[in-house]
Chains A and B, each alone.
Chain A
């Protein structure tokens, strides 16, 4: 197996929307071969640490411009300590808002490095790349006590090492695969499904495997988390995977990761593909309890529908963005296409971006195999 690329988590603190600097740094890191998991702006220390543990990153980079950085970085450091994860590096910057005195204090509190205004981008990149060399230091993996749910760290390490497989459970989690072209709204739909599932299943736990493409010969920007609101939750385990050039919509290790997650007491496991092409069939037959194809109404001429192979194998077809002109036509064209090929799959129209969309309610029942009137 080839060497795993360096993984870094970046974010902007809570109550701070200044993402201009971090966007630029993300791009530079990706060019240098780093897999950047970007959590977005206005994120709490708790969200950041949870994501860092789940994504098994080497370090966390935080860009702070709204003040309160001494407290915020300390909070992140404290949470890492609390979860026995101080091996995860911590660095950051804030233009001129972080003074030399602040930086000295923050370094004493366990921050590896604060970059000041005017630091050349190349200097930041080489500093971050050095985290790659630090790896190989084995993290101490705390074993979860028997009978308790494994910690995020334990699951994350297992996914990174692709093993060992947990023992098979008597009842496996329901596994749902969500595929579709880029821009159809897969991530938003998943986040809305998560919100509903958490609300209607109070003790439940969800795992999400999300995919983003790697830029050829470079790193990857794994940005799905940045647009998810409800999936940053202690009951949700999410892992972002880069495809590393693997065609078909998922990564080479996806199958193995899925096996691991299915062996854990999750209630629901969701796999999101990268944006797929017409001929892609990302999920092997039987690999998912329910496979969903998400489309947007602007697929082009009706003839294009004939070429979408996944229409024949998906269990459920979603036409998202139902508020767009042409959405109704799209639903009937898709239904016609399915029936003409002898398919009986359900077609559901959704507006994932709307609050409390009834189409998404219907989709949740469809993927869980429950009936709308049973909950």
Chain B
């Protein structure tokens, strides 16, 4: 039996223990009394606040329980917000407004919007626009195709892709331009980069750019995340560039380096988003994401890293769509993660918490009558926050056509503000929505579905073996095919597409975000100039990198020097020579 088998056993044992405690609370008078006493103390300690209409409310909503068994089942089975197994969230107060009642002034907004277009300068301007009204700076960076695949803008055949769908980054100098004007060392600033195959290189560029501005010591205060989830790339997103073994080694090097030198950085974002977008069902999304997470923990532990040094630096990224599973998907995931980390990997409490970023579903958005996408995203946002996500990206309604234009980006950001600041659902009370019988029924069904998938993966020999046999890929593809057929057959209603279709409608005229030929040529010239200027130093730096790769040293650490004089493409070319290319799975 492998890791996932042990997680299944731990999950069962946890449920059995809870039920045993419930029985004890009911039959053993002392135990029952202790539970009642604890419950009363918890309730008594809940602070209260007033709404603008003058309503007096507790800041935490708890079920009305007066029977010791039910109390034990609640506190052990789902826990209070911030308590094991974290079903109700990993912190005790998530989106609550300050206790003094002043609305909308939290230290840090959970809103984090994804942006990337054109060259570094263009994206920098977009970042400034997005953050102009925020008290904290939370940037989320989308890279263009060549960057995602580790290619320079002057590489053969990629010209048309420069700056499309994301920002073109070739060198440390582009990275300086990208975040210019933001204080990257500010505790309230965090930077997320959606990059996977070349993640160690982009992280090295980021750190090098910051050091140029704030000096070597700034590494201690840099805060952010790179996605770096190569397993989900192989399963769904197809942006892995090195063979899996080498990719996992570079990832391990990066995690080790971050634990040592970048204590505030999250070196991996374990992502179900792309798995779901590629067609997985919600349960498949959750099962593959969590199992990938456990596989990473096993790998890093096998390198000799102490689980308590890296587990608190892991974070997750899930999709939130309109299927009913999303009513409780993240709640189910947090519970399984907490149990697995505590009981199988012996992680301490910080490592048991599943930190979660959510994005509303891009696949649920359609081009026909596209303004309906505003409604879809609003419902998904409600589901995401009802699942106490730690941060959230809301999609723009125009996303089926293009990198979002400013008008729709603003609407998407405002949707979050309306939900969290204007509506009373989340700012007065934790758990105002949580805990309905339906939500709990969905959570149980989702958990069982996830564990069934774990069982299959375990039988196949674990996550990595299943990947080689392309198990996850074929499951995801099958689900995608079924989804399309269901839409075609009308079994899956999509308003404006197979229901209530407006036959007179033409494709909308939306503001298109495109990168001009002149802009693309500018980037090509920039990277060529960089390479020319550093041509001598680059040779030495690449040879030094080769030695580190071949001697088994920490590649990520070496890259901090390499990126000073080498472009992304120069580095990946050298690494490909040394470790090969990823062979695509179909």
| CB of A200 closer than 8 Å to a CB of B | no
Q: Which residue of A lies closest to B162 (CB)?
A: A68
| CB of A117 closer than 8 Å to a CB of B | yes
**What are the interface flags for B509-549 relative to A under an 8 Å C-beta threshold, 1 for contact and 0 otherwise?**
01010100000000000000000000000000000000000
| CB of B480 closer than 8 Å to a CB of A | yes
15 A-B pairs within 8 Å (CB atoms) are namely A17-B238, A40-B586, A42-B238, A66-B161, A67-B165, A67-B403, A70-B160, A95-B367, A96-B367, A96-B402, A100-B507, A118-B497, A121-B485, A227-B583, A355-B579
Q: Which residues of A contact B238 (CB under 8 A)?
A: 17-19, 41-42
Q: A14 near B157 (CB under 8 angstroms)?
A: yes
A interface residues with partner B (beta carbon < 8 Å): 13-20, 23-24, 27, 38, 40-42, 44-46, 66-72, 75, 95-97, 99-100, 116-118, 120-122, 188, 191, 223, 226-227, 229, 353-356
Whole-angstrom distance between the alpha carbons of A242 and B351 in the complex? Answer: 52
Q: B367 near A68 (CB under 8 angstroms)?
A: no
Q: A99 near B507 (CB under 8 angstroms)?
A: yes
B interface residues with partner A (beta carbon < 8 Å): 144-146, 148-149, 151, 156-162, 164-165, 233, 237-239, 243, 246, 277-279, 366-368, 370, 399-403, 477, 480-481, 484-485, 488, 497, 506-507, 510, 512, 514, 578-581, 583-586
Whole-angstrom distance between the alpha carbons of A211 and B569 in the complex? Answer: 35
What's the nearest-Cβ distance from chain A to residue B426, in Å?
31
Which residue in B144, B403, B581 is a CB contact (below 8 Å) of A15? B144
Given contacts A14-B158, A99-B402, A121-B488, 19 further A-B contacts (CB under 8 A): A15-B145, A15-B148, A19-B586, A23-B477, A24-B477, A24-B484, A38-B586, A41-B238, A42-B238, A67-B165, A68-B160, A71-B160, A96-B367, A96-B400, A96-B401, A117-B368, A191-B583, A227-B583, A229-B583
What's the nearest-Cβ distance from chain B to residue A257, in Å?
24
Known contacts A67-B164, A68-B160, A71-B160; A20/B477 CB under 8 A: yes
Whole-angstrom distance between the alpha carbons of A174 and B146 in the complex? Answer: 39
Known contacts A67-B145, A118-B497, A229-B583; A44/B156 CB under 8 A: yes
Whole-angstrom distance between the alpha carbons of A122 and B487 in the complex? Answer: 12
What's the nearest-Cβ distance from chain A to residue B516, in Å?
12
Q: Which residue of A lies closest to B145 (CB)?
A: A15
Known contacts A118-B366, A121-B484; A188/B583 CB under 8 A: yes
Please indicate which of the listed interface residues A27, A44, A66 has the most CB atoms of chain B within 10 Å of its own CB: A66
What's the nearest-Cβ distance from chain A to residue B467, in Å?
12
- Give the top 7 A-B pairs by smallest Cβ distance, nearest first: A15-B145, A17-B238, A71-B160, A67-B164, A96-B400, A355-B580, A68-B160
Q: B480 near A24 (CB under 8 angstroms)?
A: yes
What's the nearest-Cβ distance from chain B to residue A73, in Å?
9
What's the nearest-Cβ distance from chain A to residue B326, in Å?
20
Q: B161 near A227 (CB under 8 angstroms)?
A: no
Whole-angstrom distance between the alpha carbons of A18 and B237 in the complex? Answer: 7
Q: A117 near B481 (CB under 8 angstroms)?
A: no
Q: B477 near A355 (CB under 8 angstroms)?
A: no
Q: B488 near A120 (CB under 8 angstroms)?
A: yes
Whole-angstrom distance between the alpha carbons of A122 and B489 in the complex? Answer: 11
Whole-angstrom distance between the alpha carbons of A281 and B580 in the complex? Answer: 34
Q: Which residue of A lies closest to B506 (CB)?
A: A100
Q: B488 near A227 (CB under 8 angstroms)?
A: no
Whole-angstrom distance between the alpha carbons of A158 and B98 in the complex? Answer: 78
Q: A95 near B481 (CB under 8 angstroms)?
A: no
Please indicate which of the listed interface residues B278, B401, B484, B586 has the most CB atoms of chain A within 10 Å of its own CB: B586
Q: Which residues of B contact A38 (CB under 8 A)?
A: 586
Q: A46 near B157 (CB under 8 angstroms)?
A: yes
Known contacts A100-B506, A116-B507, A118-B367; A15/B161 CB under 8 A: yes
Known contacts A42-B238, A116-B507; A14/B488 CB under 8 A: no
Q: Which residues of A contact B160 (CB under 8 A)?
A: 68-72, 75
Which residue in B165, B368, B581 is a CB contact (below 8 Å) of A66? B165
Q: Which residues of B contact A356 (CB under 8 A)?
A: 580
Whole-angstrom distance between the alpha carbons of A171 and B279 in the complex? Answer: 52
Please indicate which of the listed interface residues B149, B367, B403, B584 has the most CB atoms of chain A within 10 Å of its own CB: B584
Please indicate which of the listed interface residues A45, A46, A191, A229 has the most CB atoms of chain B within 10 Å of its own CB: A229
Q: Which residue of A lies closest to B479 (CB)?
A: A20
Q: Which residues of A contact B149 (CB under 8 A)?
A: 14-15, 42
Q: A66 near B481 (CB under 8 angstroms)?
A: no
Which residue in B162, B481, B578 is a CB contact (below 8 Å) of A24? B481
Q: Which residues of A contact B278 (CB under 8 A)?
A: 19-20
